[in-house]
Amino acid sequence: MNKVSVLVEGYAREWGSSGWEASSSVVLIQTDKYNILCDPGQNLDLLSKGLVKKNLKYSDIDWVFLTHTHIDHSYSMACFPEAKVIDFNSIYNRDTQDLHKGEIPGTNIKIMATPGHMVDHGSLVVPVNSVIYVVAGDVFWWAEDEEEKTDRHSLLSKKDPIEGVDDKILLESRKKILEIADCIIPGHGKMFKT
């Protein structure tokens, strides 16, 4: 059976006139066979504390899933040299790359393409008993000073402030997640129920 834990609640704060202080939500999924870490983030102190609370070492992580490659989500992935890295499309084992079949091998965890914030953005669909969790990365996220409105209208109408986002495609990814999820873990902000 799968277990889902948020090790680090992601944050994003505007910094100065043009920058951000940010680190992604870091999510641990434990299956009967594997420890899977989603988006190891940028804040090494919080990542280490989260792993210690679960009595895990860096070497205990079997898979690192990246929703996308923005540095605030991917910076700390080098802390896991023994883990295989997986994204919306491929599996990376050190210097080799191979395509996957839409799931983390050996699990019932699905990988769903969710473009918009980035073209190569993906999310994880994790069944836990009868509850479906979606680790959504930056399909949904809030800056620290924003109210986290999680009603359907607010979720679908929220603009992503990052330059280059395809709002039309992002809207379709949001709808796709909302159709299946019971609980959503955003890239930055608190987990919420749909």
100, 91 in Cβ contact below 8 A? Answer: yes
From the CB of residue 54, how many other CB atoms can be counted at a distance below 10 Å? 13
Domains and CATH numbers, the chain: 3-193 (3.60.15.10)
Report d(CA 126, CA 167) in Å as an integer. 25
Report angle CA 66, 172, 65 to the nearest 5 degrees. 10
Residues recorded for the chain: 194
pLDDT mean over 160-172: 89
Report angle CA 166, 167, 168 to the nearest 5 degrees. 95
Report d(CA 9, CA 124) in Å as an integer. 17
* pLDDT, averaged across the chain: 95
Model pTM score: 0.95
Q: Is the pLDDT at 162 greater than 90, yes or no?
A: no
Helices (H), the chain: 44-53, 71-74, 152-157, 167-180
Report angle CA 110, 111, 117 to the nearest 5 degrees. 145
What are residue 23's DSSP bridge partners?
A: 11
Class of residue 177 by CB neighbours under 10 A (exposed 0-12, middle 13-18, buried 19+) = buried
185, 136 in Cβ contact below 8 A? Answer: yes
pLDDT per residue over 15-58, tens digit each? 877 788 999 999 999 999 999 999 999 999 999 999 999 999 99
The pLDDT of residue 161 = 82
pLDDT per residue over 120-156, tens digit each? 999 999 999 999 999 999 999 999 989 999 999 999 9
